[in-house]
Amino acid sequence: MRKKLVAGNWKMHGSLQNNAALLERVKAGVVDLACEVAVCPPYPYLAQAQSLLAGSAVSWGAQSLSEHPAGAYTAEVSAAMLLDFGCRYVLVGHSERRTLFGETDEVVAAKFAAAQQASLIPVLCVGETLAEREAGLTASVVSRQLSAVLDVRGVAALASAVVAYEPVWAIGTGVTATPGQAQAVHAAIRRQVAALDASVANGLRILYGGSVKPQSAAELFGQADVDGGLIGGAALVADDFLAICRAAN
Ligand code: 13P
């Protein structure tokens, strides 16, 4: 049985003061939950997450990382630096990174590799745009994004990774994928991995992300191949995030 994971992606939100209150509430609210809970604050707040969450049931991670180990890459942050701050997870290939910052499938695969080489758990984000969905390209886009990593890293690498299906049209729009839409893509992702290694596929956690709210979480997480969620806006509101975590329980 796959242990469910609910991860909050704070994106570029937060302040020392607001984060402290949010993290304390999340920490106190998840003590009895069987699912795993993680938060991904902006880089400057990882030290705060480390000091407030160390020893608690809440893990933390970063929203991206450099594909390079060190060097003249101004403003970049390496996997080793994330480890220094106790990160367990790191998002790679979020659609905002792909669209707004030009991250290609190749760059995403290199970041995935850099994360794993430092023993961080990459959360590989995949998902189609609205135009791609309407053109009937959902399966091929998601499969291509996954293949870019499988080709470079091999299927065994997915034994220590997480995949997040985040349809771009559902991110921050208030339009959540229906449970059926999410399940169909999640099942296709698992089938693609199973064709290479059934046991890795069976153990792989596939999260859904895109306008998950307390009201929609339980039905989404009840789908056979939905193993939790990657939460944006609702992760910034303690009550909402905790309600979503409870829905995964
Ligand atoms: P929203 O939950 O705000 O739609 O964001 C989803 C997301 O992008 C998480 O990574």
The pLDDT score that the predictor gives to residue 1 is: 81
CA of 9 to the centre of ligand 1 (A): 7
Q: Which residues pair with 6 in a beta bridge?
A: 37, 229
The catalytically annotated residue of 36, 103, 166, 186 is 166
The pLDDT score that the predictor gives to residue 156 is: 98
Q: What fold, for 5-248?
A: TIM Barrel (3.20.20)
The pLDDT score that the predictor gives to residue 79 is: 98
CA of 10 to the centre of ligand 1 (A): 9
Sign of CA dihedral 92, 127, 15, 74: positive
The pLDDT score that the predictor gives to residue 84 is: 98
Mark whether 76 is an active-site residue.
Answer: no
The catalytically annotated residue of 36, 94, 96, 186 is 94
Structure tokens at 205: 């956690």
Q: What is the DSSP letter of 126?
A: E
Model-level pTM?
0.98
Which of 124, 128, 166 to mutate to test ligand 1, by most ligand atoms within 8 A of the CB atom?
A: 166
Mark whether 186 is an active-site residue.
Answer: no
Q: For residue range 139-192, list pLDDT tens digits in order.
A: 999 999 999 999 999 999 999 999 999 999 999 999 999 999 999 999 999 999
**What are the CA-CA distances from residue 69 to residues 50, 76, 88, 118, 160 (Å)?**
22, 10, 17, 9, 20
Ligand 1, atom 7, residue with closest C-alpha: 232
Collapsed DSSP state (helix, strand, coil) of residue 164: strand
The pLDDT score that the predictor gives to residue 128 is: 98
Q: Which residues pair with 27 in a beta bridge?
A: none
Residue 190: CB partners within 8 Å, gap ≥ 6? Answer: 201, 202, 204, 206, 225
Q: Which residue ranges in the chain fall short of pLDDT 50?
A: none
